[in-house]
Structure formats: structure tokens, C-alpha cells
Structure 1
Amino acid sequence: MKTLLTACILTFSFSLSGFSYNNLDSLLVELERTMSKRAVFDNAKKLRIENLEKLLKESDSTSLQNNYFLVSEIIKEYEKYSFDKALIFIEKGLNIANTLNDDNLKKESQLKLAKLLVTSGRYKEAIDVLHEIERHLLPKKLLDLYYYNYKEAYSGLSFYTTVSNSKQSYSKLYKVYQDSLQQQLAPNSNESLALIEKEFRDNREIEKALEINSKRLSKVALGTPNYSLITFERSLLYGLNSNTNEQKKFLILSAISDIKASVKDNASLTELAMILFDEGNIESAHDFIDFSVEDAEMYNSRLRFVNISNKFSVISKAYEEKNLEQQNELKKLLVFISILVLFLVLTIIYIYQQIKKLSAARKELKKANDQLLSLNEKLSFTNSDLNRLYSELSDIDRIKEQYIGTFLNLYSDYINKLDTYRKMVRKYIVSNKTKALLELTKSKQLIDNELNLFYENFDKSFLHIYPNFVNEVNNLLKEDQQIILKEEESLNTELRILALIRLGITNSAKISKILRYSVNTIYNYRVRVKNNAKQRNTFEDEVKKIT
């Protein structure tokens, strides 16, 4: 019952954040949207800091206790935002404590300094600071931070040292200070639960660790440093379990929270970049690792630079190789397009000749029809049939003329666009602006515009042939599952897939190439619309019969 309650609380807290946590694609879109708004969150952080610094400047210099409080608040803001700035204000706090001759405030400032050094990977320096503090003189409220700093320092030294004897020594000291901290903490505090979770994680008791993590996660909100840390630690658990999808999900949530909280000393986005790189998604991996490098530079953490540097070089190299490959493909494509343009010109000439022949044939047919009209009443039935035939042929001619005109205009536009693009590419290559050309080719705007134009022409042409297609399809669907188009839509994706099936294109792979969706997406659309049909097994056969 307790586990069920925890799961319910966690599910509820997830639902408040506003996007689907079961859909990795949606989460990645939300992450990219949040990344694009980094400046907004950073500006809010800067504004809070500026207000605190303004209060500090305006504060009465004789009110050192108040100044110390303001400096402490500024340190909290800078702690995960800028190492250099945090260090400056910790030293200011230490100076105020010395001026006040307050040993407790002095020790508190030293512990803050040690924590900053530990979190930035400066373990030896942190231990040197801690050695200056006499533990038996510390007040009880500072013992937590004292043991925590030692624990984290020896944990880091144990993890990064390559000397086996030193590693064993550091591990023992880590265990000692971990036990001391555990005894000092309140049983259900986040810090106590974090230690229990880590012990389960180290022992590979993943389910127990996940249960503890769920309790911690239910107490924090998205956009806070604690949420970022807890979701990151949850991703580590799923990584040990080889559950890559869940690992990516919580790395994304952690990264989103880091950005919203302006946490520059972060690791989630770097780990996510490496997973995406291993999966072959080099472009997203490069974007994420590049973003992480900017954060690391902003924070100035040696530890974070060390963690990122090797991964960054591997991803950057792969990204450059991919771009070079794309450039080569672009050159081949330009050659192919040039050949295609020549073929199109020849095709247009041939079609034009056929139009002239068709026009001459139509005139001859009209002449013959006029002669038949002069026959006597005995031939009226035959004459009526010929009139009907003529009417049908005229309609076909008009349709052909309309589609040929559309075809000519479309390919004429493509020729002009290709020629313009060719000149622009040549200009960039001649002027050795390959980087600018690379940036230009990154944009998908041109493809998106052409794809929208393709959809518009396809919809218009298809509905001209089958004007009642949408109504006929809805007649085949259940009443509560019929397709309702928006005002600006002629057809939507589901109807375009059915339109291609009506035209005889039933292979999902071919449909995916035409509409530029993945095969899985096409398959899912087809399955969904079949499930909504009155007769699921014969639905597509009935679509093929629509006139």
C-alpha cells in the first residue's frame, strides 16, 4: 500500500509539468524548446542576483550580520551557476565572519568553501580547508555539512584515482564519513534517503533504490536543483538496469530542470548526448554536447571540463565527418538534379507535342459530331451516345490540360529554384565560404516549404478527380471516429495515405517516401484508421473502389 501511494504521488507530480512523460519524442521536443529559452531563465537568475547585490550595496556597513545574510543568499544563487562568483562571495562572507569575530560564522563559511571546491572537482583543496576546522568545536547544525564535504571529497578521490592503494584508503575514509553523516541526519530527510539510495545502487539492488528515489522525487518540483539531481540519479539506476528508454527519459527531465533552474554545473545533457551518439543520432548529440560545453565554460568547473572534453571530441569528429559526407552527397545530388532538369525539359517538349496532337484530335472529333447532328431522327440514339462520349472526352481533356499546366508550372518553379540554389552554392564554394554554406544547408526551411507546396498541389489535384473522397471515407468509418478537417485543411495525413492507396500505392515504404514520414509512422496511421472502420478487414479494399 505504501509503495502504491508513493507511485501515485510521483505520477501526479509528473502530470503537473505539462507534457507527456511516456513519449520520448515529446520530451525531446520539450527539451529543445527549453534549451531555446535558456536566456530567459538565465536573465531571471541574473535579476535575482542583481537585486540581492543591490541590497548588499545599500545595506548599512555597520550591519554586518545583515550583510552576512545577504552574502549567503547570493552564494546560494551562484553555487551552481558560477564557480568564480560563488568563490568571491564565500571569501566576502569569510571576511565578514572574521570582522565579527564569530567562530561559528567563520566555520560555516569555510564549510561553504569546502563544498564549492568539492562539487567543482577540487578535492584536495577541499580537504585542506576541512583540515583547518576543529570538528569538536562545530555546532550540531554544521556537522551535516562537515561530514557531507568529507564524504564527497573522498568519494571523488576514490573514483578518479588510478593508484589501487590510494583508492582503497579513500574508499575506507568515504565509508567512515558516510556512516557519520547517516547517523547525523534525520531519518526521512532527503539527504538521508539519498545515502540509502546510493547504498542500494552500489549493491545493485535496483528495485529498492528506485523505491527510495520515488519517495525523494515526490517531494520536489521541476525546475529546482534537487529535482535535477534526483532525476539524474534515477537515470543512473535505469542505466544499471539497461533500460535505455527510461534512462533517456529521466536524463531529459533532469536536463530540462537544470536549464529552468539555471544550473550550469550539470551532467545530464552530456550523458544524454553520449547515449544518442551511440544510437547514431549524431546531430542531436552534437547540439546537446555543445550546449553542455557552454554551460561548463560559464560555470568554470575543471571536473566538468574533464568529463566533457573526451566525449566532445569524439562527437565533434563524427559530426564533422557526417557533414563532409553530406557535402559529397550534395555535390552528387547537384549532378543528378542537372540530369533530371534536362530530362524534364525533354519531357515537357514531348508533352507539349502530345497536347497539340490531342487538340487537333479534339477539333476533328467536334467536326465529326457536327456532321452526326445532321443525320436523321433514326440515328438520334446513336447521336446521343456520341454526344455523351464527346462530353466525357472534353472533361478528360480539361482535366489533362489543368494537370499539365500545373505540372509545367511546378517543374518550371523547380528549375528556377534549382538554378538559384546552384548559383548560390557555386558562389559560396568559389568564395571559400564552406562554413556559411554548411550553416545554410542545416536549415530544413526550404524542404518544409516545398513539402507544404507538394501537399497543397497533391490535395487540390486529387480532390479535383475525387471530389467526394472525404465523405466517402467517412461513410466507411464509425460515426464517432469520422475524420473532421480543420478550416485550412483540404486533406490531413490520414486522408493523404488513403488517397495514395486509392491511386494504387499500397506499400507503406513507398508511401513513407512520398509523404516523408517514417515507415513506422505510416504503419501506425494505417492501423489506427483501420481500427476506426466499420469493416476493418475490407476497409482498404473499399477505399480503392471510391469514385
Structure 2
Amino acid sequence: MARSIFFILFLFTSTLNAQNLDSLFQELETTMSKRKHYDERKKTRINNIKKLLSDQDINSENRYFLTSRLILENEYYSFNESLHYINNNIDLATSIGKDSLKTESILKLSNILATSGRYTESLNLLDGINRKVIPNGLLLRFYGNYKKCYDELKNSSEVKRISEKYRGLYRAYSDSLNTEISRNDKESIEYLIVIEQNYRDANKLGEALKINEEILSKSISGTRDFSFAAFNRSYMLRWLNDDKLNQKKYLILSAISDIKGAIKDNASLTNLAEVLFEEGDVERAHKFINFSLEDAQFYNSQLRFLHISNISPQISNSFEARIQKQRNKLQKQLMFISALSIILLMALYFIFKQFQKIKQAREQAKVVNVKLRELNEELKVKNEDLRQIHDELADVGRVKEQYIGSFLNLYSEYIDKLDGYRKMVRKYILTNKVNKLLELTKSKQVIEEELKLFYSNFDKSFLHIYPNFINSVNGLLKPEEQIQIGDNEQLNTELRILALIRLGITNSSKISKILRYSVNTIYNYRVKLRNGAIKRDEFEDLVKNIG
């Protein structure tokens, strides 16, 4: 039971952490999209200082300190700019005659050379400084620069004796730095950074993490201190607990801080891309490594270029392979869709042919409907026509049952009526009531009643197949030209004309014969409907497409 509860809690925690990580990835990509904004803020600060420097009346010392501010702004933003302004300050310090300012500038030059991977040049500068004349305030930089150079050299050398030599020098300068830093404020970030490094060197990662947490609490996102501390924390968590989730979390936080601070000399996003590539997330890895490459190119860092050049080709090749795989998959899907499209076209052609048959059947049914009003002696012909229509309708599988049943019922009623009419005529002749028979044939009441019944059956059958026909037609008409149907009506004359057009009967002469109006009347109705349409020229074509 306890194991089950622990497993459930573990799954819940893992899911929650994964969701938090997704939110951080979204925040990172949002921040990446705003890089130009953060860079512009950095440029604004730099330009403001340049404006102050452009004043020809400021003295050399003030110019030195303004240039120092420019160096600080460019330190992790542009290697070339930093190098330019440091050299300016070395010249200014020489002209002022203050050795402490010159030493300070040389130490800054040594630092950016070491940061960009130019360790030999950095060490040459450091070796050229007389230790005895360095002011106490600059000793931390002096020892720190030596320590940084030998830290990288001991890890990069493949020759054991040389690596051991660098390791010994690293320890020696670490001791000197520890002695010097012990005189500083124990709460300062500079002090905490050195202590954290000491714990990491001693493989006391638990203690190092505590110090690291304190550094993070004292720094804010968008600063180099926060970015560096978050970067260190990501790898300490991975080394200590194999915690890949938190490794990615703190690499993301470090990368966000780098972008916000316009820090171009960064490693977090590159390392995050490498971790994601190892996990198979090639798309994100490709996006992040390209972003990092742009920063490295902007800063002009040899160290970053070397790191990125080792991983970028693998990520790019994998990304291209994935794109090619997706392209191949897309081509297969396109072929499949094309095949389906051909099948669909064939089906549409078949449906069209069936619809043509239905239309022909309807036209023939109307012819039969007219001929049924003829004399009894034509009944045999009409029956033959009816059987022919039934045979044709049997081949048409798309006509609705009610529509067929309605017309069959109508024909049956016509036969009964004709038979009744025949009997009545026979009776009148046998009883010598010829005059009454003549009066009966003069009346149009029978035709009018049959016509009403024909309209009713047509309306009912058509609306059963196209139940939304009236609303669809009104949708094609202007608001003031909408067709209103009475309570006892299904379709009016205008709608019946449009219904026949929908069924493919567009000839006014044919429509007039079916609805028993004059051709001129049908023409006037059609003109009136087109004039009331929203799209006059396309109106009847749109009616034909009503579903």
C-alpha cells in the first residue's frame, strides 16, 4: 500500500514538474522572440555613455571612468568593443600617469581574453604585471584571472604532465584567491562565488548548492551573476542526483537571464541544445543552437565558436534528416490524398451520371403526368411509359423512397380517376345523357384540382429532398426581396421555378409546360428573382448548387 502511494505521488510530482518545464520552455521562446528589444535597451545605455564621452571638455580621469562604464556594458556583449575601449583606457591611464589605473585596465584585458578562450595571451599579460605594485583592491582580479586560465587549461590539455602542471598552478592561485577573498564581506556575491567554487573543487556538491542558492537569492534575472549561478546549479544537480529535469530548468533560467541582459558571451542555451539533442528533441535543439551561434558571432568568442562547432553539425544533420523524413512522409500523404482525390472525382462522376438519370426520370415522369389527362384509349401507352419509368428508376439508387412512393401513388390515383371517368362516360352514353357529358367536359374544375394536387405532391417531394431549400434561396436574396410562404403553402410559383432550375431544368419553355404558365410569365418571374438577388449574374448558378 505504502509503495503504491509513493508511486502515485512520484507520478504526480513528475507530471507537475514536466508541466512547469513546459511553461519555462514557452517563457524562453517568448524571451528569444524579444531579443531585439533587450539588445536595443543595451544599445541605448551604451549610446548614452558615448554621448557623455563626446564632450571635449571632460578631463582625462573622467574620460577614463566613462570608458570603464562602456567596458562594463560591453564586457559580455561585444568582445571587439570591449577590446577597443580597454586599449583606449590603457592609453588614457598611461597619459594620466597612474599605474593603478593602467594595471586595472590590463587586468580587464586579461579577463576578456581568458573569457573568449585566448588563454596564452591572457597569461602573457598577467605575467607582465609586477605583483608587488598591484593595489590590494585589484588582487582579487589578478588571482581570479590566473585561476580562470589554469582552470580551463588543466581541463583542455591532453598531455598528462602538462595537465598536472596546470592543475598545480590552479590550486596555487586558488589558495592565493581564497586568502585575498577572506578579507572581503562574507555576504558579498564575489565572496560566495569563490566559496561555491571551492566546494565544487572539493566535490562537496551539497554544500556548493547551498551557497549557490544564496547567490541566486541575492541576484536577479538579467544579470551575469544570476545567469552564471543558474548555469552552475544546473550541472551540480545533474552530477549530484542525475536530475535531468532540474538541469534543463536551470539552463532555461540561465538562458532567459542571458537574453534579458543582452549577454552574448553565454553557454546556457548551447548546453541546453546539447541536452535536448541527446534526448531526441532535435527541433528545439536546432532552434537553440542557431540562436547561440548568432550570439557567438556577434560577441566574437573563439571559445563559444569551438563549443558550438562541435555540436552544431550533428544537430543540423539530424534536423535535416528529420525534415527529409517529414518531407518523405508528406509526399506519401500527398500521393495518398491524390489517390483519394481521383477516387472522389470518379465517385462524383458516378453521382453526376446518376443525377442525370434522375433528372431524365423526373422529366419523363412529368411527361407521363401530362399524358395521363388524355383519353382512356391512351391508358395502355401511359402504362407502358410508367413501366419504363419504373424500370429506369430501379437503376437509380440515389432517389429517396418517399419521392418514388409519392409519384407511384400519384400515378395510381390518376389511373383510378381515369377509370372512374371512363365508367362515368360509359354510363352517360348508355343512359343517353350526352348533354350532361358535354357540360362536364366544358368544366375546368377537374384540371384545376389535378393541378393543385400536382403542385402539392411536387412541393412535398422536393422539400423532402431539399428541406432547407427556402432558407437557402432567401440567403441569396436581398433582405427586402425575401420570399414569404403562406401558412397553407409549401412552395409558391417563384420557388417552384427555382426548384426546377435546381433540378437542372433551366429552359423557360420547359418550365412553362410543367407549371402550366406562359413562357412570358416564367421569364418575368426569373427576371424579377434575378433583380432581387444579392449576386444577380450568379444567382441561378448558386441556386443550382443548393444542397
**TM score, norm. by length of structure 1:** 0.62
1:129-140 equivalences in 2 (<5 Å): 129-140=125-136
* 8 Å CA contact retained: 1:234, 1:250: yes
In the alignment, structure 1 residue 44 sits paired with structure 2 residue 41 = yes
1:140-179 equivalences in 2 (<5 Å): 140-179=136-175
In the alignment, structure 1 residue 123 sits paired with structure 2 residue 119 = yes
1:380-395 equivalences in 2 (<5 Å): none
Which position in structure 2 is the counterpart of 1:454? none
For 1:173, give the aligned amino acid.
L
For 2:33, give the aligned amino acid.
S
The structure-2 alpha-carbon separation of the partners of 1:214 and 1:401, relative to structure 1 and needing over 3 Å to count, comes to farther
The structure-2 alpha-carbon separation of the partners of 1:330 and 1:358, relative to structure 1 and needing over 3 Å to count, comes to closer
SS of the residue corresponding to residue 66 of structure 1 reads helix
Deviation of the 1:279 alpha carbon:
1.4
Deviation of the 1:330 alpha carbon:
2.9
* One of 84, 87, 96 as aligned partner of 1:88: 84
Which position in structure 1 is the counterpart of 2:303? 303
* 8 Å CA contact retained: 1:21, 1:27: no
1:179-328 equivalences in 2 (<5 Å): 179-185=175-181, 186=184, 187-240=186-239, 241-328=241-328
SS of the residue corresponding to residue 218 of structure 1 reads helix
* One of 75, 79, 82 as aligned partner of 1:79: 75
SS of the residue corresponding to residue 75 of structure 1 reads helix
| Distance (Å, rounded) in 1 between the aligned partners of 2:346 and 2:320 | 39
Deviation of the 1:130 alpha carbon:
0.9
1:311-460 equivalences in 2 (<5 Å): 311-349=311-349, 357-366=397-406
* One of 50, 54, 65 as aligned partner of 1:57: 54
Deviations along 1:340-375, one digit per CA (max 9) or x if unpaired, are 1112223445566788645442323445888999xx
* 8 Å CA contact retained: 2:178, 2:194: yes
For 1:198, give the aligned amino acid.
Q
| Distance (Å, rounded) in 1 between the aligned partners of 2:173 and 2:255 | 30
Which position in structure 2 is the counterpart of 1:24? 21
Deviation of the 1:113 alpha carbon:
0.8
Deviation of the 1:329 alpha carbon:
2.5
Which position in structure 2 is the counterpart of 1:110? 106
* 8 Å CA contact retained: 2:400, 2:465: no
* 8 Å CA contact retained: 1:238, 1:247: yes
1:455-470 equivalences in 2 (<5 Å): none
| Distance (Å, rounded) in 1 between the aligned partners of 2:467 and 2:189 | 73
Deviations along 1:64-120, one digit per CA (max 9) or x if unpaired, are 111001000000011001111100100100111000100111111111111111111
The structure-2 alpha-carbon separation of the partners of 1:189 and 1:398, relative to structure 1 and needing over 3 Å to count, comes to farther
The structure-2 alpha-carbon separation of the partners of 1:50 and 1:339, relative to structure 1 and needing over 3 Å to count, comes to same
The structure-2 alpha-carbon separation of the partners of 1:349 and 1:199, relative to structure 1 and needing over 3 Å to count, comes to farther
| Distance (Å, rounded) in 2 between the aligned partners of 1:120 and 1:109 | 17
The structure-2 alpha-carbon separation of the partners of 1:228 and 1:367, relative to structure 1 and needing over 3 Å to count, comes to same
* 8 Å CA contact retained: 2:463, 2:469: no
Deviations along 1:352-408, one digit per CA (max 9) or x if unpaired, are 6788645442323445888999xxxxxxxxxxxxxxxxxxx9999668999xxxxxx
| Distance (Å, rounded) in 2 between the aligned partners of 1:29 and 1:247 | 17
SS of the residue corresponding to residue 58 of structure 1 reads coil
The structure-2 alpha-carbon separation of the partners of 1:336 and 1:64, relative to structure 1 and needing over 3 Å to count, comes to same
SS of the residue corresponding to residue 266 of structure 1 reads coil
| Distance (Å, rounded) in 1 between the aligned partners of 2:166 and 2:70 | 33
| Distance (Å, rounded) in 2 between the aligned partners of 1:354 and 1:246 | 66
Deviations along 1:449-475, one digit per CA (max 9) or x if unpaired, are xxxxxxxxxxxxxxxxxxxxxxxxxxx
* 8 Å CA contact retained: 1:21, 1:249: no
Query: Which of structures 1 and 2 has the bigger CA Rg?
Result: 2
The structure-2 alpha-carbon separation of the partners of 1:121 and 1:368, relative to structure 1 and needing over 3 Å to count, comes to same
SS of the residue corresponding to residue 210 of structure 1 reads helix
For 1:141, give the aligned amino acid.
G
The structure-2 alpha-carbon separation of the partners of 1:400 and 1:157, relative to structure 1 and needing over 3 Å to count, comes to farther
SS of the residue corresponding to residue 129 of structure 2 reads coil
Deviations along 1:472-506, one digit per CA (max 9) or x if unpaired, are xxxxxxxxxxxxxxxxxxxxxxxxxxxxxxxxxxx
| Distance (Å, rounded) in 2 between the aligned partners of 1:342 and 1:159 | 64
* 8 Å CA contact retained: 1:148, 1:181: yes
Deviation of the 1:29 alpha carbon:
1.5
The structure-2 alpha-carbon separation of the partners of 1:23 and 1:129, relative to structure 1 and needing over 3 Å to count, comes to same
The structure-2 alpha-carbon separation of the partners of 1:59 and 1:281, relative to structure 1 and needing over 3 Å to count, comes to same
Deviation of the 1:53 alpha carbon:
1.1
Deviations along 1:192-239, one digit per CA (max 9) or x if unpaired, are 222332333344433322221111100111111111111111111122
* One of 57, 65, 71 as aligned partner of 1:69: 65
The structure-2 alpha-carbon separation of the partners of 1:168 and 1:339, relative to structure 1 and needing over 3 Å to count, comes to same
Deviation of the 1:167 alpha carbon:
0.9
* 8 Å CA contact retained: 1:118, 1:149: yes
| Distance (Å, rounded) in 2 between the aligned partners of 1:394 and 1:245 | 66
The structure-2 alpha-carbon separation of the partners of 1:88 and 1:275, relative to structure 1 and needing over 3 Å to count, comes to same
SS of the residue corresponding to residue 54 of structure 2 reads helix
Deviations along 1:167-208, one digit per CA (max 9) or x if unpaired, are 111111111111221222222322222233233334443332
Instruction: Name stretches of at least 5 consecutive residues in structure 1 with no aligned partner.
Output: 1-19, 374-392, 403-547
The structure-2 alpha-carbon separation of the partners of 1:139 and 1:315, relative to structure 1 and needing over 3 Å to count, comes to same
For 1:364, give the aligned amino acid.
I
| Distance (Å, rounded) in 1 between the aligned partners of 2:171 and 2:462 | 91
**TM score, norm. by length of structure 2:** 0.62
The structure-2 alpha-carbon separation of the partners of 1:74 and 1:22, relative to structure 1 and needing over 3 Å to count, comes to farther
* 8 Å CA contact retained: 1:59, 1:67: no
* 8 Å CA contact retained: 1:227, 1:257: yes
| Distance (Å, rounded) in 2 between the aligned partners of 1:236 and 1:258 | 17
Deviation of the 1:49 alpha carbon:
0.9
Deviation of the 1:269 alpha carbon:
0.7
SS of the residue corresponding to residue 218 of structure 2 reads coil
* 8 Å CA contact retained: 1:82, 1:300: yes
Which position in structure 2 is the counterpart of 1:540? none
For 2:232, give the aligned amino acid.
E
